[in-house]
Amino acid sequence: MAFLNNLGKKIGSAAEATASKAKELAEVKKFNSKIGDQEKQINRLYTEIGKKIFEQDKENPQSPVAELCAEILSSQAAIQELRQKIEEVKGSNCQEEQ
């Protein structure tokens, strides 16, 4: 009988340890999720700050971010060219169909 009592105690202890670990992991997951939410918020705010600085400084060659603004303007111009090419392709396809 002592053997069965010891076995029952060991199983009970193992179950408690497993439940405790599961609770710990759930809490850690919850906190990690909250950290992720805060990091997303920070990144969104960084983006907003960057957009405001860009709009403010995009034509200021003395700005400390002038080089980055120039790169953004260059990318915007490239996007516009690509959109025009898309419209040209769509326009030529419409003419071919008629």
Residue 66 and residue 82 share a domain: yes
Q: Determine contact, residues 43/50, Cβ cutoff 8 Å.
A: no
Specify the number of domains making up the chain: 2
Stated pTM of the model = 0.62
pLDDT (0 to 100) of residue 50:
96
For the chain, 98 residues long, the average pLDDT of each consecutive 10-residue run is 67 79 93 98 98 95 95 98 95 70
C-alpha atoms less than 13 angstroms from C-alpha of 68 in its C-beta half-sphere: 10
pLDDT (0 to 100) of residue 14:
75
Residue 35 and residue 1 share a domain: yes
pLDDT (0 to 100) of residue 18:
85
Residue 49 and residue 1 share a domain: yes
Residue 67 and residue 26 share a domain: no
pLDDT (0 to 100) of residue 58:
94
